[in-house]
Amino acid sequence: MSESTTIPPGSDEDVVRHRGWFAALWHSRDGRRGVIIVGVVLVVGLMGLWGLTPYAADAQNPASVLKGISFSHPMGTDQFGRDVFSQAMQGLGVSLEIAFLSVLIAGVIGTIGGIVAGFLGKWTSAMIMRMTDMMFAIPTILFALAIVTALGFGIVDSAIAIGVPWIPIFVRVVRSPVLALRESDFVRAGRVLGFSRLRLLWRHILPNVAGVIAVQTSLTLSWAIVAEAGLSFLGLGPPPPTASLGEMVNNAGSLAGVAWWTLWGPSLVIVIAVIGFNFLGDGLRDTSDPRTRTR
């Protein structure tokens, strides 16, 4: 009997249903956590960026200096009477802006580099890989310091400083699956079928590394937030009066003994954002393969 007739037509197994990638993400445990946390973080960050904060982020109020946690000040106030939560919202917004911009730089350049290095000939590949080796040899913080010193302290400068060191990581992460896919039977089959190299790259190889890229993007975002906080902690972030999470942590260092909330508030925001992007990355990793998406 032909196996195509083993399942009687009209049975439950007759039609296989597939979830879209977002539905699949929502149905995975880590994915749903990530989507919710990142969603909240994005909304709060954007509100902070657009000035939709409970108080103006830089509004000083001598009447309520170093007030503890209360309904009116959920993260207390600092030594100038500024609302820590409003400042943290603005700082988060700036952090996200820099993080997304830096990951855009690293992701686009790194992915193109990785695909080219994986798909094209030995010479191009060797050139790109030696360049990434050279970039790996430079310590990330040193590189960021050099770029910020050379370019300035603006948002784009910070994004370049944070994004460029991540280019070689994207190159490597993308290159190895591309190398494997290039030699896979289905790409060979495509060559035998007369598909162009562009089609093989765009329609067959790229969709099969998209999951890897999405996961790496999400994880790099969480690292970029930490890196941005690190830079502004060292005083290399956007200059005052723009609030930034790292600078807030730095300033709170001397106050932590008397007003712990000034340290905990911005730190908590960093941790939540990082955890959110990590969950999202794990969720994407689990669901990026259509093999996991059959209902």
Partner 1 sequence: MLEGSFTVVDIVLRAHDLVKVYGGRRGQSQVDALSDVSIALEKGKTLGIVGESGCGKSTLARLLVGLEAPSSGTIEINGHLVQANEHSARRALARKIQLVFQDPFSSLDPRMTVEKALAEVLKVHSLQTNDAVARIAELMAMVGLTARFASRYPHELSGGQAQRVAIARALAVEPQILVLDEPTSALDVSVRAEIINLLVRIQDELKLSYFFISHDLSMVRHISDDIAVMYLGRVVETGRYDQVFSTPLHPYTSALADAIPVPDPEHERSRQASGSDAVQVQVDQVTRGCPYAPRCALVEPACRETAPALTETSDGHFVSCHVALRVASRRPTDPTMSDAPGGDEP
Q: Is residue 12 a contact point for partner 1 (CB under 8 A)?
A: no
Closest approach, Cβ 31 to partner 1, in A, equals: 19
Closest approach, Cβ 194 to partner 1, in A, equals: 3
Closest approach, Cβ 116 to partner 1, in A, equals: 19
Site string for partner 1, 131-170 (x = CB under 8 A): ----------------------------------------
Query: Residue 187's closest CA among 176, 201, 174?
Result: 201
The phi-psi region of residue 190 (left if phi > 0; otherwise alpha if psi is between -120 and 50; otherwise beta) is alpha
Between 20 and 194, CB nearer to partner 1? 194
User: Residue 247 half-sphere exposure, CB side, CA atoms within 13 Å?
Assistant: 18
Q: Are 236 and 153 in contact (CB under 8 A)?
A: yes
Which amino acid type is present at position 80?
F
Q: Distance between CA 282 and CA 276 in Å, rounded?
A: 10
Q: Distance between CA 221 and CA 209 in Å, rounded?
A: 18
Q: Which two tokens stand for residue 36?
A: 């919710």
Q: Are 249 and 234 in contact (CB under 8 A)?
A: no
Q: Within 250-269, which residues bind partner 1 (CB under 8 A)?
A: none
Give the burial class of 283: count Cβ atoms within 10 A of its Cβ; 0-12 exposed, 13-18 middle, 19 or more buried: buried
Q: Within 175-204, which residues bind partner 1 (CB under 8 A)?
A: 184-186, 188-197, 199, 203-204
Number of residues that bind partner 1 (CB under 8 A): 31
Site string for partner 1, 16-55 (x = CB under 8 A): x-x-------------------------------------
Q: Using CB under 8 A, which of the segments 44-52, 81-89, 265-273, 285-293 binds partner 1?
A: 285-293
Query: Directed axis angle between helix 84-119 and helix 245-252, to 10°?
Result: 130
Q: Distance between CA 245 and CA 267 in Å, rounded?
A: 8
Strand, helix or coil at 29?
A: helix
Closest approach, Cβ 294 to partner 1, in A, equals: 6
Q: Is residue 2 a contact point for partner 1 (CB under 8 A)?
A: yes
Q: Which two tokens stand for residue 97?
A: 């802006």
Q: Distance between CA 292 and CA 288 in Å, rounded?
A: 8
Q: Is residue 15 a contact point for partner 1 (CB under 8 A)?
A: yes
Closest approach, Cβ 108 to partner 1, in A, equals: 22
Q: Using CB under 8 A, which of the segments 66-74, 87-95, 109-117, 283-291 binds partner 1?
A: 283-291
Between 63 and 198, CB nearer to partner 1? 198
Q: Which residues bind partner 1 (CB under 8 A)?
A: 2-5, 9, 14-16, 18, 184-186, 188-197, 199, 203-204, 207-208, 289-291, 294
